[in-house]
Structure 1
């Protein structure tokens, strides 16, 4: 079991590209010295496991492999793809035959887009019948406008509209949209504005923007309770003010309710819902040699009572009901009202919890904690619960585990306390078993997780120029800082190794990349408890927690291996060539997807400098910085490096031609 991290410059490659990686590997529990790992490109063996994707630990076909040296836990290198067929492939890091890290890449014969489309809106939320204005901007990736471009657009959500426009000299145009009421809709709906290139440009060139449409100008909130045959229906109505939703502070988004609405009539029908059974057939029980009837269960819904009410000066209304408690019966109410514009609003509420037929009584046993994340040294307090009540009497067994059991305690209390020490990092599973004198009842376990924000490194980068010309050398100054609790201030991070990956932003338009070094490094570790056995069997419903077989043993709910929705980054060729010269000046000939990929060690103050020669692309280069320190702190940051010219020509050409092609 290892601390591990694997990153590539990107996750989309041409069939003969170079895949470069940077990684970290360190034993969690021993002083094992790791000197070498094997990097390989293999067939894709990812499989779906416990609602997540995980790498297959079996042998996949390796197309290429190399040995990489490991120095202080870090390794770096690259593999040339052997002209692979388009498809998905695994990048594996092995120790012997064991895969210790893995990610996936996609191989395609892609063409990068020459420019991008960006869309913005003057509002985030509108009412039905109110206008919203969108601005579409077309520009090359380094910022130069694309003028006089034909662009198609459409609106979707409540209704569908489409059209087209041509950008002005600044590469911009504005489009107005006013949504109209559609019968049957209420509450909050989402609308979408999409813009895409009209001409068959190379690559995928499109953009979209989401916005909220409020069909009604009031919000009606209902709550219901049911106890001892007494039902209570509560209503609360407020006007909606979209000003907080449309300001710049997202923390105000939940403050859109305004003044109460008095005198609003609300009517409804209370229904009695009874589960009934009907015979649908018979089958023969060969063991008992009898004919057994088969039943189907259905709901018989009948009108129980009509209700009407009006909101008071505070916008509230209360309706009290007598709802007899009968076996296999639950109650619902269907309500209707109108907003201040006369638009119909309908709701359905349940009294109490919705009753469903089940041959079992439901008991949920679990360990409850008031906190989810902890710092090293914090107290971890859990309580053994049955539904919403603490379990009383009997005996309790509490077990702490991470890749195996390392602590347990037998107690007569439903409360358990331990300390979040180094063994808990990054997480530990606390399990509980209750013995009531007759049988053992295991609880849903609690996972205590480290508050990883205490281990975050913040990277900042400063370029020696605001913009560059193709072929120039960029000099970048890096700074890594952490927050020190001892000094209550930000200080330089010590012992940091940082990877620098610089990739054309145009490529990420085809396949974006998401990197969070800290979250990956502190990935969830399974408990390692393979199975459990109780000498006193419990046949009660929901008494045994669900278990699934997986890597690292039997695990519950979380997968032993997580895969990000987008693969970590990887690196392409670092070969360089001098631009050729002609009588007219420099000929741009060195075009790359990855401009630079390497790693450096920062000094004791968290400072470092590097330089790299820019290829001939006129673009914006995404500079991704990912670093890990000797103290297992980590962080990620992204900056842009702009390369431009006063005048340039971008062409869309094929990579191969047949004789006679033009």
Structure 2
């Protein structure tokens, strides 16, 4: 016992000693201090990391420049080295020391002023080293380039006298480290590879079409290899055309010719979907798109242009607008009513640079919405030249936009609109304020400048008042504390400068104001912020200005650099597909002018980028230098033998293609289109030269080693206002004067009015010349000829010219676009006299398909350059089309015009089907077609379909059924289930339909994913994802999944099994026997079900439910009870000598007891139990007769009928 106690005592002493030693082996190290920049400013959120033996063991982030790191260190590490690294942005600084137990170290760290800029494109890398305090470049910065981690060094070098180190390097995750003295800084070059897009130019003969019209298209394909284009010769392209509903209506493969082009056409159907159509071209594994519109339109017969006498008006002036209305056949619209309205919308100047950001959160500040404010409205008339003057006073104490809209109504009562806008300024000049930055430290000097310019950007010398107020908020009230109030005068250059010193932190408002010589006030103000600590940002006020809009190779561009800081150094790079070069400059003052020699490789453009830095702030700007590739521009001349033609004359066009004045052989397309079309839809096709030689993006990625905030580049969009489609108006008819007749000049009835008079996609010039002769249609209008040319050397160009078709005597027939049978309406004829003498005109109206209620012959006396309108009352007493002819006869010249107008039946479309069956015993059948009472004979037709089998009558509905799922569970199933049934039908009948075979798997897959998503947590389905499970909807989905699985589609077994479990659980709570019948029928596909209760109460079931119970018995191999039900269904059939049907009542679920689906399920039950039943062909005959064209009443009914 004593030995045990002694042993325990020794062990206890050893453990106590061990515990004492262990406690003695740990101690704490404490490191604290500040992190400042090289000017002594505390840095916020700088990272400070502690390393021991190369391992990161502790970190802190500065708060107001201070940090504290405490770490428990084992005594065994005493005497080893510790290292702390402070990082701020990309700048870093490290300090080392020796570990001493329980000692505190005060380490103040100063981040250096070394900065790095990286510019990378592909494998090319440029590093620029600079002093962030002075902004000057640094020679001798040691550059280390690593990949992925700093120790994987792949290249080293030293910056040159301009602070630049250039090299080629591979790797996507580069780390660049620069060391200069005690300063170390890192930057991670961005590596983002922009692909080179091929160019596929798709265009049509015009932008908009009517149903039944022909669409002509042409496609030009160029391949782009690393920025170098080549013509794609003998390349296979697939072209598809889609309706607005994304239905494909055209598909064809093309092979490009030697010019890289192909062309084709498509004729639209009589009733196509209206809207925007898409042309899709697939080539080189990518898809490219073009567009056109299809609408039911009527072209305007005249145009309305509004032009302000000047674009800028000053507050208080009278604005003058000239309105001109002109027929497309070149004559003025005289004496037309003009209704105009004028609205005003205040202008919010676009933000620039840091003005677009809140200081607390760098996000874009959207301009406020200013609604249009009514100014005035009025009425006037056009004069004999088609001119109307609109005048109104403009008043606005701030810049605003005034919109003038006018509607013109001519004798035809049709309305054509036009619009324009003008600028209203509060004074003759405007003021701009610029400060060197927006955030300052207390005690700093604010350098500010004012610039006064007029609205032509000319400098103005004028007196201005400057007020600086510090804004102070007290209890939700703002007070202004005056800091500066002085009067200045801008110099001849429009500029005045002033300084003031900040003394208190807060928000400062700088306001400048003045008056023009008319006494109008002008004012502009900005805010600046003053903090106790220094703010480091990139508030961009650097400005780059080029002396020209564009240049040619060999010229020298002058680049003006306006700096927000005095005595600056700037690093300028020329960028684009690569880094073309750089310049480093230093200068006194705030501006510098440098020369940039233009090289041919700069075409079509390069990007000029400039970087300035001083006192830790960064200023950047870029500008696009354009070098249009004029050597790639073809001059296209379209020369007509004359400018004005009469209908059915032949216009002779000569097209010349020139390069630098010399002929060049090309392939060109030529279209001649009614100009009125472009009033309905603007030409959306980009100019071919601008498309192929458009602005080149900047592929150079730039990164910085020090913190910055993003800046914005201002973008301007120029909008072109369109002319809306006119709407008809009503006006009383003028009096008609009757006079005697005389001998008349002969005439030709004008009846051919195409929108495109001519199109040829593949005209070849020889020695730069092509000649084309075009018969001019009957339309009296302006025709626009558009030619687009391209050569084998990638030169392109286009041009447009216009010709006019007109007559000395014009008969215009004004009709609606369509008429409804039974309508009584006015048909108007307008006669224009452009003869040199007063004309006695014999006018008559002829019509077929319409009854004219007034005297058809009338006589007018019309003065030169004048017109008269005549109205006839007509009634549409028939269907389905009418031809109306207007004839105007004089002894000098005559004219006649004929239009065909559709007459829509006044009724509803109804399809009645009659069927017959041929058998071995009966090889002929008599079918009597009885038209229902009230049938409109001209609008009705009888179509005989002969099918070799019953199945054949249903197959034309397959494509109607197939579609992509959408909407709720029921809507999804109404697409998914028919898709599955179509798939089953194709498989069972061994039918070939490549389109459906390709699309159905994707359709079914998308339907499955939606159904999986809609499944509830209890395994059931409702109408939506988040509602309660519904008994019928659960059965409906399980049935669909079951059929899909039967047709060899992969079904998630967990989803289906959970659905079956939920279905079984819900059956017990369902009282409606018809619903329960459907649920048990679906369940019978998976297990044996108890149908005894339903069989005992079958007298309460409808025929639909009975057929389901019979089929469920078949699934359970119980044919006795099933046959009993079949006999009852035989007795409940509604039969005639040729057909049988069941159903017709309304049940809880709206379509489960309709006659189509009930009859279909009864047929399935009969075929399963009594396939020779004579009622089967009669029932099928009923289904065939009830088809509505190619389908039944719904997708579900159609699918069920086919499945039967």
Bin of the TM-score, shorter chain as denominator length? 0.5 to 0.7
TM-superposed CA distance for 1:343, in Å, is 3.8
**Is residue 275–residue 357 contact of structure 1 (8 Å, CA) maintained in 2?**
no
TM-superposed CA distance for 1:501, in Å, is 1.7
- Residue in 2 that maps onto 1:230: 445
TM-superposed CA distance for 1:621, in Å, is 0.6
Output the aligned Cα RMSD.
5.5
Closer/same/farther in 2, CA of residues 467 and 97 from structure 1, 3 Å limit: same
- Residue in 1 that maps onto 2:775: 613
Distance 2:662 2:240 in 1: 36
Max Rg structure: 2
Distance 1:77 1:341 in 2: 64
Closer/same/farther in 2, CA of residues 495 and 595 from structure 1, 3 Å limit: same
Distance 1:425 1:450 in 2: 5
Q: How does 1:52-71 map to 2 (within 5 A)?
A: 61-71=247-257
Closer/same/farther in 2, CA of residues 448 and 462 from structure 1, 3 Å limit: closer
**Is residue 21–residue 78 contact of structure 1 (8 Å, CA) maintained in 2?**
yes
What SS is found at the alignment partner of 1:71?
Answer: coil
Matched, 1:509 2:697: no
Q: How does 1:186-265 map to 2 (within 5 A)?
A: 186=398, 188-198=399-409, 205-217=416-428, 219-220=430-431, 222-224=433-435, 229-232=444-447, 234-235=449-450, 253-255=456-458, 260-261=461-462, 264=463
Q: Show structure 1 runs of 5+ residues with no match.
A: 46-59, 246-252, 279-297, 393-397, 433-442, 484-490, 547-555, 559-563, 568-581
**Is residue 244–residue 274 contact of structure 2 (8 Å, CA) maintained in 1?**
no
Matched, 1:88 2:263: no
Distance 1:601 1:203 in 2: 39
**Is residue 574–residue 606 contact of structure 2 (8 Å, CA) maintained in 1?**
no
639-648 or 507-516: bigger deviation: 507-516
- Residue in 1 that maps onto 2:375: 160
Q: How does 1:370-389 map to 2 (within 5 A)?
A: none
What SS is found at the alignment partner of 1:509?
Answer: helix
What SS is found at the alignment partner of 2:524?
Answer: strand
Closer/same/farther in 2, CA of residues 170 and 35 from structure 1, 3 Å limit: same
115-124 or 143-152: bigger deviation: 115-124
Aligned residues: 549
Distance 1:199 1:482 in 2: 46
TM-superposed CA distance for 1:459, in Å, is 1.7
Higher helix share: 2
**Is residue 208–residue 295 contact of structure 2 (8 Å, CA) maintained in 1?**
yes
Distance 1:521 1:126 in 2: 39
**Is residue 463–residue 474 contact of structure 1 (8 Å, CA) maintained in 2?**
yes
TM-superposed CA distance for 1:44, in Å, is 5.5
- Residue in 2 that maps onto 1:551: none
- Residue in 1 that maps onto 2:524: 347
Closer/same/farther in 2, CA of residues 147 and 65 from structure 1, 3 Å limit: same
**Is residue 113–residue 202 contact of structure 1 (8 Å, CA) maintained in 2?**
no
What SS is found at the alignment partner of 1:144?
Answer: coil
Closer/same/farther in 2, CA of residues 117 and 459 from structure 1, 3 Å limit: same
Distance 2:376 2:750 in 1: 43
**Is residue 497–residue 628 contact of structure 1 (8 Å, CA) maintained in 2?**
yes
Q: How does 1:27-38 map to 2 (within 5 A)?
A: 27-29=223-225, 33-38=233-238
**Is residue 240–residue 280 contact of structure 2 (8 Å, CA) maintained in 1?**
yes
Higher RCO, Cα 8 Å, sep 6+: 1
Closer/same/farther in 2, CA of residues 316 and 42 from structure 1, 3 Å limit: closer
Distance 2:472 2:296 in 1: 61
- Residue in 1 that maps onto 2:307: 120
Closer/same/farther in 2, CA of residues 10 and 316 from structure 1, 3 Å limit: closer
- Residue in 1 that maps onto 2:666: 496
Matched, 1:308 2:486: yes
Distance 2:253 2:330 in 1: 42
Closer/same/farther in 2, CA of residues 614 and 67 from structure 1, 3 Å limit: farther
- Residue in 2 that maps onto 1:48: none
Distance 1:623 1:409 in 2: 42
Distance 1:313 1:105 in 2: 55
- The CA deviation string for residues 321-367 of structure 1, in whole angstroms up to 9 with x for no partner, is 542266x645322244444444443321346xx6799998435999x
Matched, 1:271 2:469: yes
Closer/same/farther in 2, CA of residues 357 and 638 from structure 1, 3 Å limit: farther
- Residue in 2 that maps onto 1:26: 222
TM-superposed CA distance for 1:35, in Å, is 4.6
What SS is found at the alignment partner of 1:41?
Answer: strand
Distance 2:325 2:307 in 1: 12
Distance 1:372 1:399 in 2: 17
Q: How does 1:102-501 map to 2 (within 5 A)?
A: 102-157=289-344, 160-175=375-390, 177-182=391-396, 185-186=397-398, 188-198=399-409, 205-217=416-428, 219-220=430-431, 222-224=433-435, 229-232=444-447, 234-235=449-450, 253-255=456-458, 260-261=461-462, 264=463, 266-272=464-470, 302-309=480-487, 311=489, 320-324=498-502, 329=506, 331-350=508-527, 361-362=536-537, 451-483=628-660, 491-501=661-671
Distance 2:311 2:550 in 1: 33
Distance 2:325 2:581 in 1: 67
- The CA deviation string for residues 421-459 of structure 1, in whole angstroms up to 9 with x for no partner, is 77x876789999xxxxxxxxxx99999876334422222
- Residue in 2 that maps onto 1:599: 761
**Is residue 221–residue 231 contact of structure 2 (8 Å, CA) maintained in 1?**
no
**Is residue 267–residue 336 contact of structure 1 (8 Å, CA) maintained in 2?**
yes
Distance 2:683 2:431 in 1: 41
**Is residue 319–residue 392 contact of structure 2 (8 Å, CA) maintained in 1?**
yes
Closer/same/farther in 2, CA of residues 356 and 455 from structure 1, 3 Å limit: farther
TM-superposed CA distance for 1:151, in Å, is 1.4
Closer/same/farther in 2, CA of residues 62 and 653 from structure 1, 3 Å limit: same
Could you tell me the TM-score, scaled by structure 1's length?
0.66
- The CA deviation string for residues 197-253 of structure 1, in whole angstroms up to 9 with x for no partner, is 247978761122333334324555555557973345555668x6xxxx8xxxxxxx4
Q: Show structure 2 runs of 5+ residues with no match.
A: 1-196, 345-372, 586-595, 611-619, 723-743, 824-875, 877-1204
Higher strand share: 1
Closer/same/farther in 2, CA of residues 9 and 110 from structure 1, 3 Å limit: same
Distance 1:658 1:469 in 2: 34
Distance 1:254 1:315 in 2: 11
Distance 1:523 1:611 in 2: 34
Closer/same/farther in 2, CA of residues 200 and 64 from structure 1, 3 Å limit: farther
**Is residue 618–residue 643 contact of structure 1 (8 Å, CA) maintained in 2?**
yes
TM-superposed CA distance for 1:588, in Å, is 0.9
What SS is found at the alignment partner of 2:331?
Answer: coil
**Is residue 451–residue 490 contact of structure 2 (8 Å, CA) maintained in 1?**
no
**Is residue 669–residue 788 contact of structure 2 (8 Å, CA) maintained in 1?**
yes
Distance 1:160 1:343 in 2: 20
